[in-house]
Amino acid sequence: MKHLAILGGGPAGYVAASHAAAHGARVTLIDAKPLGGTCLHQGCIPTKVLVESCALLEKFKRADAFGLKISGEISADWTSLKGRFNEIVSMLGDGIDQLMADRDVTCIRGYGRLLDQSTIGVNDQTISPDAILICTGSRPKAQLGFNVDGSVIGTSDDLLNWSDLPASILIIGSGIIACEFACILDSLGVDVTIVASGARLMSSADKDVSVVLQREMRKRGIKVIFNSRITSLSHGGSGVEAFCEENIIATAERALVAVGRQPNSQDIGLERADISVNTNGDIVVDDLYRTDVPHVYAVGDVNGRSGLAHAASAQAKQAVDHALGRHYTMVRERAIPVAVFTSPEIAYVGRSEDEAKQDGLEYVIGKFDLRALGRAHALGEISGFVKVVVAKDTGHLLGLHAVGPHATEIVHEGALVIQKYGKAEDMRATVHAHPTIAEAVLEAVEDALGQATHKPLSNKRQLNDVLQYS
């Protein structure tokens, strides 16, 4: 029986432990904190609980549009909201503990470090397993000049612990965390200003997706300042001031620093094991997630490959399978979907249009607006679209991009097709249920291949120009 030791109990570590134990390995899981990692305790789960509460609150605000009459004031209570997500986090945490017990995983509460290439030290004991998985995750990034104190200027970890919400907030950053919190806080009545260093929000998403997000944020009253790289933040009696060089470009009662995350690769004994990190502090790994030491793997945020919880879990399973000598399926990073719980939701997988262009690929685009769907009107959410990028020569699906209701669910159709190197024609030939938002995927694919059923007849293509793929 092989013995695996795992440093870190987040979505990489505890999933690795569960998977390894289920396939006959002896597993030791080491973490100084409760299992579940940032995802469960400060990230994915508590924020999504808030997202659902805010979505319900926004529905209530528009009750008249749904033919409903609601009397009395409807408002959010921050203390109650925190109580709800803490209760859910606690329940899910207990579930992970029970899962480990069910699989006879030895869980050690402590801070583990590599003592050499084959030994881990934790709580005055040493462990010498057959293989080691480093799954220590990441933490919010904040430069020295941002003066993060946790109470007035904080990171995403700090905000969820605030006893109350400010009247106004500056959000420094323009990525997933920044945009999700902007929508949450706006729904909860906070005056939100985003300060972005670049020319658009969510620069990792397709440019058309960014346009819709920015438009919807403007409608909500969220202010966005573009092309402004903050060099320092300061706070006094009047609130927080954001400086770009020597100029104050924005002020608010508090600030949220959401400029990315950095790997937890320090003080875990990498130097004693001769394991390399890059200039960002990411542990260097190969496609099997092996470090410089073949029996030591690094998966999840700590290797800098993705930064997504579900990607960390997928990497963990592959690494475990390889370490145990089992058949494994390589993680296709292009096929990992991204889900962003803004309002409206954003999701994408594969290449964006710009990436296809940069890669020198010949491609066609298909696009379908949600406002043409009956389901979108029933939901009262008609802003958004589905867009597909299709290889012109072969018809393979290169990318799927969605913005609007249920985007984070329908993206998996594209993920499956890309994972299987499938073609857009496979999606066109798949019957989609009516009335659903997923119908927009079918229509977008039809648009790419020739003519969408519910889109005005195109003058750009004749019938014999419709792309045909075997």
Q: Which CATH superfamily is domain 144-259 in?
A: FAD/NAD(P)-binding domain (3.50.50.60)
- Examine the residue annotation and report whether 327 is marked as an active-site residue of this protein: no
Q: Which CATH superfamily is domain 335-465 in?
A: FAD/NAD-linked reductase, C-terminal dimerisation domain (3.30.390.30)
- Matching fold, domains 3-139+262-331 and 335-465: no
Angstrom distances, CA of residue 217 to CA of 137, 201, 223, 429: 31, 10, 8, 36
Q: Considering 23, 295, 412, 434, which one is annotated as catalytic?
A: 434
Question: Tens digits of per-residue pLDDT, 389-413?
Answer: 999 999 999 999 999 999 999 999 9
Low-confidence spans in the chain with pLDDT less than 70: 459-470
Q: Cα–Cα distance between 462 and 451 in angstroms, integer?
A: 10
Q: Cα–Cα distance between 191 and 223 in angstroms, integer?
A: 9
Which two three-digit tokens encode residue 116? Answer: 């050499």
**Per-residue confidence (pLDDT) for residue 463, from 0 to 100:** 45
Nearest to 230 by CA among 276, 264, 206, 196: 196
Question: Tens digits of per-residue pLDDT, 160-214?
Answer: 999 999 999 999 999 999 999 999 999 999 999 999 999 999 999 999 999 999 9
Q: Cα–Cα distance between 22 and 18 in angstroms, integer?
A: 6
CATH class, range 3-139+262-331: alpha beta
Contact 262, 304 (CB under 8 A): no
Residue 60's Cβ-side half-sphere holds a number of Cα atoms within 13 Å equal to 15
Question: Tens digits of per-residue pLDDT, 217-266?
Answer: 999 999 999 999 999 999 877 799 999 988 999 999 999 999 999 999 99
Domain extent listing, the chain: 3-139+262-331, 144-259, 335-465
What percentage of residues in the chain have a pLDDT greater than 90? 93
Q: Cα–Cα distance between 293 and 295 in angstroms, integer?
A: 6
